[in-house]
């Protein structure tokens, strides 16, 4: 909070990740906000109907790409190997990956959270050098699948615990310096009906940075995953009036 009660001040880098068809429109509507894509093909070119290549994303002004979102894993059968391919091409193109990881309720109930996250990270980062990680704004987003749409919130303490676990895994793969450089994010679901314009509106943000084991809205980097049409609708409504 700022010095004045009810005033929320933050220095942040904001990234919007809308559906592909809206990217070019938002590029001109929001010049001070970074653009991200919700997915990308691991192939640079070729006959892959319906896929979106990195060159297409670059043409729209994208700087970030979401890789490995739980819905891509679940509904489109994206494996850790596919995610590894996508991370490699994103980094090679000098874009910034937002790499998603997370466990299901069943995996959590079996006490497999640590093993699942470790497996997802290790396989996704296979044959990716520390220099590639350090030369980008590499982000790992913890996405608790068990909490999304279930009414079972992932509390602050649990998110902090996962943030520390992720840093520990990265440290073992590379080193502590790389681990400290990686942005660790926490993704949680927020229904559009709960969006408000009040002094506490920062509580509606979809993602906050986990930095050195604590969650705060005052860090210098905050990622927002605006993956719903609610935001797009209001943007276009505003400019069409």
Q: Which residue numbers are catalytic?
A: 69, 143
User: Over pLDDT 90: what percentage of the chain?
Assistant: 50
The enclosing H or E element of 159 equals helix 156-173
Three-point CA angle 161, 164, 165, nearest 5°: 85
Torsion (CA) 168, 169, 175, 178 in degrees, nearest 10: -90
For residue 23, the model assigns a pLDDT of 86
The domains of the chain, with CATH numbers, are 15-240 (3.20.20.70)
pTM check: above 0.85: no
**Secondary structure class of 110 (helix, strand, coil):** coil
Residue 90 has pLDDT above 50, yes or no: yes
Q: How far is CA 149 from the centre of its chain?
A: 18
For residue 36, the model assigns a pLDDT of 93
Instruction: List strands edge to edge, sheet with 207-211.
Output: 15-16, 34-37, 64-67, 96-101, 139-142, 183-187, 207-211, 214-215
- What average pLDDT does the segment 118-139 reach? 96
CA gyration radius for the chain? 18
Burial of 208 (0-12, 13-18, 19+ CB in 10 A): buried
174: which DSSP letter?
Answer: S
Residue 159 has pLDDT above 50, yes or no: yes
- What average pLDDT does the segment 147-164 reach? 82
Instruction: Give residue-wise pLDDT tens across range 19-73.
Output: 888 888 777 766 678 899 999 999 988 899 999 999 999 999 899 999 999 999 9
If one compares 207 and 46, the residue with the highest pLDDT of the two is 46
Residue 86 has pLDDT above 70, yes or no: yes
For residue 14, the model assigns a pLDDT of 81
For residue 147, the model assigns a pLDDT of 84
For residue 83, the model assigns a pLDDT of 98
């Amino acid at each position: 909070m700022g010095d004045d009660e009810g005033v929320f001040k933050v220095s942040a880098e904001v990234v919007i990740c809308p559906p592909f068809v809206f990217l070019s429109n938002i590029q001109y509507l929001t010049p001070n906000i970074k653009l991200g894509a919700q997915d990308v093909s691991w192939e640079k070119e070729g006959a892959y109907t319906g896929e979106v290549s990195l060159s297409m994303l670059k043409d729209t002004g994208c700087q970030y790409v979401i890789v490995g979102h739980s819905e891509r894993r679940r509904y489109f059968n994206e494996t850790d190997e596919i995610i590894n391919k996508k991370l490699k091409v994103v980094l090679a193109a000098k874009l910034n990956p937002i790499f998603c990881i997370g466990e299901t309720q069943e995996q959590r109930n079996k006490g497999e959270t640590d093993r699942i996250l470790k497996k997802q990270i290790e396989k996704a980062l296979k044959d990716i050098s520390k220099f590639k990680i350090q030369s980008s704004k590499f982000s790992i987003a913890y996405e608790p699948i068990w909490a999304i749409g279930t009414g079972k919130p992932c509390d602050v303490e649990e998110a902090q615990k996962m943030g520390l676990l992720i840093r520990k895994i990265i440290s073992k793969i590379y080193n502590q310096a790389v681990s400290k450089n990686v942005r660790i994010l926490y993704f949680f679901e927020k229904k559009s009906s709960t969006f408000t314009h009040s002094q506490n509106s920062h509580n509606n943000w979809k993602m906050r940075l986990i930095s050195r084991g604590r969650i705060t809205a005052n860090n210098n980097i905050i990622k927002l995953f605006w993956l719903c049409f609610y935001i797009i609708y209001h943007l276009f409504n505003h400019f069409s009036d």
